[in-house]
Chains A and B, each alone.
Chain A
Amino acid sequence: MKDKSNKNIITRRQAIKTGAAISVAPMVFSKGAYAANFTNDPGYKSSVTLGFNVPQTGAYADEGADELRAFKLAVKHLNGEGDGGMMNTMKPMNLRGNGILGKKVTYVTGDTQTKSDAARASAKRMIEKDGVIMFSGGSSSGVAIAVQGLAQELGVVFMAGLTHSNDTTGKDKRRYGFRHFFNAKMSGSALGPVLKDEMGTERKAYHLTADYTWGWTQEQSIQETTEGLGWSTTAKVRTPVGAGDFSQFITPVLNSGADTLILNHYGKDMINSLTQAVQFGLRDKQVEGKNFEIIVPLYSRLMAQGAGDNLKGILGTANWDWQLQDEGSKAFVRSFGKEYGFPPSMAAQTCYVQTLLYANACENAGTFYPPEVIRQLEGFEFDGMGNGATEYRAEDHQCFKNVLVVRGNQNPTSSYDLLDIVKEVPRADVEYDASIFGGELGPYKV
């Protein structure tokens, strides 16, 4: 009996404690989050934090690692350390090398694991815990679209890194998301004339496609282009991302009657599928008197390094290449090389440029308040960043600039000299109407 009453006393006290915890905790902990005018307002702090959310594991890890190098370099240059890189060539520019709006730039990193869930969790950590004012990164369009939605919900600007799907600035575009990288539609437009010259107008194409938003839109864009040339499409086969072994998808190609294989793969997937396609003898094959050809619409030097000799002579497109001879590219390659000892990839370039563009927009706006920064970026025209005269189109937040058609180098002189630039397709040839993909940007203020 005595025991029982004792227990009751403890319970009552616990109950009071619990009640107190319930009533106090929300007040204490929600205050900080909503007192500011906008999410993560740096206020009077002497520094601002940027978040770099890249794949550090999975099929796109190589690209992620190079993106991270570029981000770190951009932060250095923004803070006035190093040789300044593209800050010497960017026009127009308001950056002074004293951080952004006089505040020193710091950064946090995260691993997207090339999964939407993990990427969103990582981005949320950056926004809620580390208080980032902008976040960036990429390598998978699925991830980019997922975190772009989050950016809009939470009111933090997302400067997309490498993402090539039409949807990122098409049907899934967001007011808080910006893309400097080119897209599948532009790849198709750029590749079309070259394909016509090299391979003629009568071919049968077989698509192997990474099964997510990027693969789908690239397949569609390339198909539109090739069918516009008069080619027919034999089959379109979807493959899982990160499959590793593509032999079960490549065997049917041999007997399909197709004479062209289009690999809508990227990263390690593309390295694997291409290597296996070559091992299966596709490139030595003849179909009705025509040489069998392989096309990789989206190309990068990192992939070329992985695929080695298999990539020689294969056509594709790229956003940028370190061998470009304009001032901006040279300055960037020089400072990246000095820092890390090898030239940057196109993923690195787009991430570097995005960081600088955001910082510059803040300087132009005179504030970190996202709606103002967004208005500065929309319609912003600039030059000296490696792609010629470029414009951030206001209607869909897509950058328009020259696109490179590249080919795997037949006689590389070094382990980085892997791509030949076949053609620099002028911006006018790849432009399209912003309304064709639908989608809505959404509100400035959230």
Chain B
Amino acid sequence: MLIFTAAVLSMPIWLDPIGANYPDLLQKFAIFGIFAIGYNILFGLTGYLSFGHAVFLGVGSYTAVWSFKLLTMNVIPAMFFSILMAGIIAAGIGYVSLRRSGIYFSILTLAFAQMFYNLAYSVLMPITNGETGLQLTMHDPRVIDVAFSREVPEGLPSTDFFGISMNGYSGFYFCAVMLILAFFIYLKIFRSPFGMKLKGIKSNQKRMKYIGSDTRPYLITAFVISGMFAGLAGSLMAVTDPLAGAERMQWTASGEVILMTILGGVGTVYGPLLGVGIIKYLENIFSSINESVLNNFFSFMPQWGESLLTSLTMPFVGEGWHLTLGLLFMLIVIFLPGGVMEGLQRIKDSIMNKKNIEESEATAKESSDG
């Protein structure tokens, strides 16, 4: 846990060499980290594959922006209400969807997600502002801010945590602390009897029922908890950038978190976080590489080699980053079904094995010597 804390807080240092050290991406790492570990509570522990988790992300964002508009620019109420709203909606969706399992559950959650997405574009337009997205304006009521007569800056106010602005690095450290807190809760859940029960559901739900344990309340609780994690992530997205758009609720966003979890390793403790790192890095850094960057990169080569390598790598960077991600995903699913975590485990095992063999050889030698 402490190693984890240190690793998260020192991200600006060790991500610097690979060009990922700038506030927005660091914030994204932390926020999607929360989203993915929350998702892992449901998918990793119970094996229930939800295809609509982005709904809670979206609900969290909208709630947070409304809290900024109506109440105060302080982030605490925004986060509180977001988690609450996400929890309530998760309870509703979970109550219905969890009547079924397997593919039916996935389809039900997907249907709910699409429903919310389309509602955001049509009936709920006054709340969501449709395609344009919900934004702050200069004439928002902000009753609490007004009641405490906080000074209003010229122009748009920015979100803050009791006076600390949530832009840039301070925003990242805030998200990082949230990630650490969320991770702590997540670890506790993983290692609790409750977590064991969830794992039991994953391995054999029928048997759980036969031995007299009602699985449904546990499933709903897990679903709500993971929805609340997503709500927290959604509110943090609004905290670092006070704007909410419906595309956050699209099925592709739900798909992304599944990709992250599978890429990193389903059901493992750190896997989802690795997945987040890989996908967000590809999305933000690979997509920004253009021809001139590549030419610079290969400039140590002779002219023909430079242009050859550039044209060979060009399809995989820039707008082609999806291709790279797809290939990576295929490779991992085919060769490492347990995700990157399985890969790491194998490397560790092979090193350990070598050591063991060496040690046993050494002892064997000693004994033969003796």
Contact = CB atoms under 8 A, between A and B. Distances in A.
B12 A240 contact: no
Interface string A235-275: 00000110000000000000000000000000000000000
A129 B319 CA distance: 19
Nearest to B321: A111
B243 A146 contact: yes
Contacts of B290: 108-109
B158 interface: yes
Contacts, number: 126
Contact of A116 (B9, B12, B25, B132): B132
B245 A15 contact: no
A117 interface: yes
Contact of B6 (A18, A108, A111, A129): A18
Interface string B232-254: 00000000010101011000000
Interface in A46-101: 56-57
B135 to A, nearest CB: 6
B247 A116 contact: yes
A104 interface: no
A294 to B, nearest CB: 24
B284 A213 contact: no
B243 A120 contact: yes
Given A128-B23, A211-B130, A116 B245 contact: yes
A367 interface: no
Contact of B2 (A18, A30, A212): A18
Contact of B156 (A29, A153, A241): A153
A240 B9 contact: no
B28 interface: yes
B47 to A, nearest CB: 30
Q: Which of A15, A25, A167 has the most CB of B within 10 A?
A: A25
Contacts of A153: 156, 158, 167
A14 interface: yes
A430 to B, nearest CB: 24
Interface residues of B, number: 43
Interface stretch (B94-102, B168-176, B300-308): B168-176
A334 interface: no
Contacts of A115: 245, 247
Given A211-B130, A213-B131, A442 B284 contact: no
B126 interface: no
Contact of A121 (B12, B21, B28): B28
A443 interface: yes
Contact of A152 (B5, B19, B155, B170): B155
A440 interface: yes
A74 B168 CA distance: 31
A11 interface: yes
Given A125-B22, A149-B243, A213-B131, A26 B173 contact: yes
A149 B24 contact: no
Interface in A1-48: 11, 14-15, 17-18, 21-22, 25-26, 28-30, 33
Contacts of B2: 11, 14-15, 18
Contacts of A145: 132, 135
Contacts of B168: 30, 33, 128
Nearest to A212: B131
A30 B170 contact: yes
B155 A443 contact: yes
Interface in A101-137: 108-111, 115-118, 120-122, 124-125, 128-129
A93 to B, nearest CB: 27
Nearest to A121: B24
B23 A111 contact: no
Contact of A56 (B19, B22, B319): B319
A163 B284 CA distance: 24
A446 interface: yes
A152 B2 CA distance: 39
Contacts of B167: 153-154
Contacts of A442: 138, 154-156
Nearest to A441: B155
B9 A29 contact: no
A142 interface: yes
B10 interface: yes
A180 to B, nearest CB: 21
Contacts of A154: 167
A125 B284 CA distance: 8
Interface of A: 11, 14-15, 17-18, 21-22, 25-26, 28-30, 33, 56-57, 108-111, 115-118, 120-122, 124-125, 128-129, 142, 145-146, 149-150, 152-154, 167, 172, 175, 211-213, 240-241, 440, 442-443, 446
Interface of B: 2-3, 5-6, 9-10, 12-13, 19, 21-25, 28, 121, 130-133, 135-136, 138, 154-156, 158, 167-170, 173, 241, 243, 245, 247-248, 284, 287-288, 290, 318-319
**Leading 9 A-B pairs by shortest Cβ distance:** A212-B131, A129-B22, A124-B24, A442-B155, A443-B154, A128-B22, A14-B2, A56-B319, A18-B6
27 contacts: A11-B2, A14-B2, A18-B6, A21-B6, A21-B9, A21-B13, A25-B12, A25-B13, A26-B173, A33-B168, A57-B319, A109-B288, A121-B28, A121-B284, A122-B288, A128-B22, A128-B168, A129-B22, A129-B24, A145-B135, A146-B245, A152-B155, A152-B156, A440-B138, A442-B155, A443-B154, A446-B155
Given A108-B288, A110-B287, A122-B287, 6 more contacts: A26-B173, A29-B12, A33-B168, A111-B319, A129-B24, A142-B132
